[in-house]
Structure 1
């Protein structure tokens, strides 16, 4: 959980649904839910967000106003709103443009966290900052499958494209790459060859810069043709006639399952997970530096606020 700075002042009942009593105020603006880089964020945004929920299709599932659960809902919505404002302010300062896109799937939402995911789904500015901050993410070494220590002389099937600038290269996908065919890594630019050697097969690699420009590539090892089976080779991997007869006598649901390799996340899945982790960490850093919270509207998981407790 990320902790943010909390302004001093009276503990507000503004964390509830219906009242602003005790909320922090900004001159000329009135009650606020916090400050983003010194800029006050009006309490009216929270009122509008909660009112919209209470008029929506999920209203029956919401907690009753005035309860601890309702105050927690207001705290959660406050963090979503402040995240949206923080990302919009930061993205505009960086000269980024808003980005449209589909909502996150369930796994991605879990990896980002509920507040970040809600902000991502609700704001094109959050998506814009995500693309910017996650552009340099790489798959952590501990996530990569262990490579054999034996030197490989296999060639690689490489897809590649050269871009004139980093921005356009960072937006590239696998569909933007053109096939180079089976190539020896030694024939590629050194920086690109080293990047390919240190990434899992099939992963989107780059942007990698050298004197030519910005490279983006993906590579898989070329499969060597299998040597023909000789008549002396024992059919060790094939079931015997007795085994086949035994299996045929059993219903499909009762047949023993042969062991198989456990499914592993693809390189693309690992890279996307790394991008989400990078964004979440960078966003936490921005919150710590630029957000000031109002007492009573802290993060719902903050142990210092009175409604963060478990009942058994």
Structure 2
């Protein structure tokens, strides 16, 4: 890999300019985790972490593209690497900014997540157990209007029947399982990625300014 490449993903190189274009297009969404400062050293550290963050977003998209090809999934519509859809704050909180940004930026990442979701099997006892343990989430509209305390063992009539909410619960559990499967896939897939100096993962503990809150 020459000095012009930020990373090599199973033989597919990612040019450094690709990363810089991604950053300069204003796609960063609070990933630096460093306060704005007029100190040159602090600004340099911030940019270095942002560059590492952007590299991870692009690497994740490339890994997902390759995974879609391996799974014979229909190729998703290509999106310019500098284009980034709005990232919901809830996704950043639930997924971390790298994966949230990759899913917003990469059609391949979204296609892979959808495929993983279709593969998840949620057994009926798990769905029923979720319902039984979370009755407070299934109060009827009438019970909510009356101000029924959801934590005070509401009456059966104040709770939506299991049959009415069962499919929604199963879909929610499948979605959560797919996200876990995506995390596991990414951890394994990026193990063989080779990074140029200055483009390593922002949470790499071998660097003194590593940042785990990414």
Query: Residue 80 of structure 1: which of 57, 64, 73 is its match?
Result: 57
Q: For the structure 1 residues 39 and 75, does the alpha-carbon distance in structure 2 shift closer, same or farther, using more than 3 Å as the test? A: same
Matching of residue 112 in structure 1 with residue 39 in structure 2: no
Query: Residue 296 of structure 1: which of 189, 198, 202 is its match?
Result: 198
* 2:142 match: none
TM-score normalised per structure 2: 0.63
* 1:231 match: none
Gaps of 5+ in 2: 30-34, 78-84, 131-146, 153-158, 160-167
Structure 1 residue 98, shift from structure 2 partner: 4.3
Contact 1:112 1:277 (8 Å CA) reproduced: no
Structure 1 residue 199, shift from structure 2 partner: 4.1
Structure 1 residue 302, shift from structure 2 partner: 1.4
Contact 1:111 1:277 (8 Å CA) reproduced: no
> Which deviations, in whole Å up to 9, do the C-alpha atoms of 1:1-21 show, x marking residues without a partner?
xxxxxxxxxxxxxxxxxxxxx
Distance in 2 (CA, whole Å) between partners of 1:41 and 1:126 is 17
* 2:117 match: 134
1:272-311 pair list within 5 angstroms = 272-288=175-191, 290-308=192-210
Distance in 2 (CA, whole Å) between partners of 1:36 and 1:282 is 15
SS in structure 1 at match of 2:6: strand
Structure 1 residue 261, shift from structure 2 partner: 3.3
TM-score normalised per structure 1: 0.45
* 2:171 match: 268
Superposed CA RMSD in Å reads 3.6
Q: For the structure 1 residues 275 and 55, does the alpha-carbon distance in structure 2 shift closer, same or farther, using more than 3 Å as the test? A: closer
Q: For the structure 1 residues 272 and 300, does the alpha-carbon distance in structure 2 shift closer, same or farther, using more than 3 Å as the test? A: same
Distance in 1 (CA, whole Å) between partners of 2:204 and 2:51 is 14
* 1:96 match: 73
Structure 1 residue 120, shift from structure 2 partner: 0.5
Contact 1:50 1:74 (8 Å CA) reproduced: yes
Matching of residue 47 in structure 1 with residue 20 in structure 2: yes
Gaps of 5+ in 1: 1-24, 140-194, 204-256
Contact 1:34 1:292 (8 Å CA) reproduced: yes
SS in structure 1 at match of 2:194: strand
Distance in 2 (CA, whole Å) between partners of 1:121 and 1:80 is 10
Per residue, is there more strand in 1 or in 2? 1
Q: For the structure 1 residues 75 and 55, does the alpha-carbon distance in structure 2 shift closer, same or farther, using more than 3 Å as the test? A: closer
Per residue, is there more helix in 1 or in 2? 2
> Which deviations, in whole Å up to 9, do the C-alpha atoms of 1:15-65 show, x marking residues without a partner?
xxxxxxxxxx43xxx511111012221111011112212899xxxx97777
Q: Is the radius of gyration larger for structure 1 or structure 2?
A: 1
Query: How many aligned residue pairs are there?
Result: 167
* 1:122 match: 105
Q: For the structure 1 residues 305 and 266, does the alpha-carbon distance in structure 2 shift closer, same or farther, using more than 3 Å as the test? A: same
Distance in 1 (CA, whole Å) between partners of 2:28 and 2:127 is 49
